[in-house]
């Protein structure tokens, strides 16, 4: 568990890279799943910090969890816009 807590920002960056790779390859389902997984990962960090950790370490993990949740929500919006643009292109062609 300490590996995840120490490297949570790197893990979220890997999620972002995987999301953009799935967008490049037009894999919509994978892009949506990765954005939801990012939000769930941030929620897990936030709730784990509330339940198990105390002191300033808890505050650090909580802030990182909130940042990752926000990142996941932004990725969800980007993915939704991408899918909407693709669908409008299909309808016009």
Vertex 46, ends 32 and 10: CA angle to 5°? 60
**For helices 28-52 and 56-92, what crossing angle results, to 10°?**
160
Per-residue confidence (pLDDT) for residue 43, from 0 to 100:
95
C-beta neighbour count of 76 within 10 angstroms: 18
Q: Whole-structure pTM over 0.85, yes or no?
A: yes
Per-residue confidence (pLDDT) for residue 54, from 0 to 100:
86
Q: Of 67, 71, 61, which is closest to residue 4 (Cα–Cα)?
A: 61
Q: What is the DSSP letter of 55?
A: T
User: Would you write out the chain's pLDDT as a tens digit for each of its 93 residues?
Assistant: 888 888 999 999 999 999 999 988 988 899 999 999 999 999 999 999 999 988 888 899 999 999 999 999 999 999 999 999 989 998 887
Per-residue confidence (pLDDT) for residue 64, from 0 to 100:
93
């Amino acid at each position: 568990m300490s590996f995840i807590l120490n490297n949570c920002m790197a893990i979220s960056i890997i999620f972002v890279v995987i999301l953009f790779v799935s967008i490049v390859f037009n894999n919509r389902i994978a892009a949506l799943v990765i954005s939801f997984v990012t939000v769930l990962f941030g929620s897990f960090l936030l709730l784990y910090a509330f339940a198990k950790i105390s002191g300033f370490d808890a505050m650090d993990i909580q802030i990182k969890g909130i940042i990752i949740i926000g990142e996941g929500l932004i990725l969800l919006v980007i993915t939704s816009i991408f899918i909407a643009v693709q669908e409008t292109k299909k309808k016009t062609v």
